[in-house]
Amino acid sequence: MEQTRSEAATLSQMQHSSTEETQGQQSNIVIEKRPEILECDVVRFQNNKDRWVAFVGLLNGQPYEIFTGLMDDDEGIMIPKSVSQGRIIKVVTPNGTKRYDFQFQNKRGYKITVEGLNEKFNQEFWNYAKLISGMLRYRMPIDNVVKLVGSLSLEGETINTWKAGVVRALKKYIPGATEDTDDIKDFSE
């Protein structure tokens, strides 16, 4: 059975459209089991003299998880200003406990690892970040995640500073979005 030119063109368009849909859906595929290593972006922000950091774990270039908190000399979260990317590594100890380490390469090419991100931040921020990471992991559209986090009604200046920073950290992954800083100052430059 011979195809007409019109039928062949229609079939070609359907195949091309199907390929585009499949490629677009690749970033929407839910991967429940976290890979051992995720590339990540480091976002620093400051509000009311508090210095904050967000580690945004990426899967296929899209946010998959987020770790956030105050930068604190005492807890060892001192990352050089020049570091804007790295890796978040999930480590399972022999007794089965899990921790998340941040690793980056310094200017001399050495790998530097900050162990136990999950133990270095305030428990309240950690719990909120776990919730947000769940939304990211199950591929809630990033603009909806940003809107939801931005609309949270939280009490206290510190937690609202955190909320504004999370919104800023995630907003950069919304295609075509502009940065609306709202009293948040970037100090990574």
For 12, phi then psi, to 5°, come to -60, -45
What pTM was computed for the model?
Answer: 0.76
For 110, phi then psi, to 5°, come to -80, 145
Q: Which tens digits make up the pLDDT trace of 119-175?
A: 877 788 888 889 999 999 999 999 999 999 988 888 877 777 788 888 989 999 998
Q: Which tens digits make up the pLDDT trace of 20-59?
A: 333 344 456 777 789 999 999 999 887 677 788 899 999 9
Query: E-assigned strands of the chain?
Result: 37-47, 50-59, 62-70, 85-92, 98-105, 111-114
In the chain the first and final C-alpha atoms are separated, in Å, by: 65
For 113, phi then psi, to 5°, come to -120, 130
Kindly state the tokens that stand for 117.
Answer: 């991100």
Q: Which tens digits make up the pLDDT trace of 101-125?
A: 999 999 999 999 999 888 877 788 8
**What pLDDT was estimated at residue 186?**
41
Q: Are 158 and 186 in contact (CB under 8 A)?
A: no
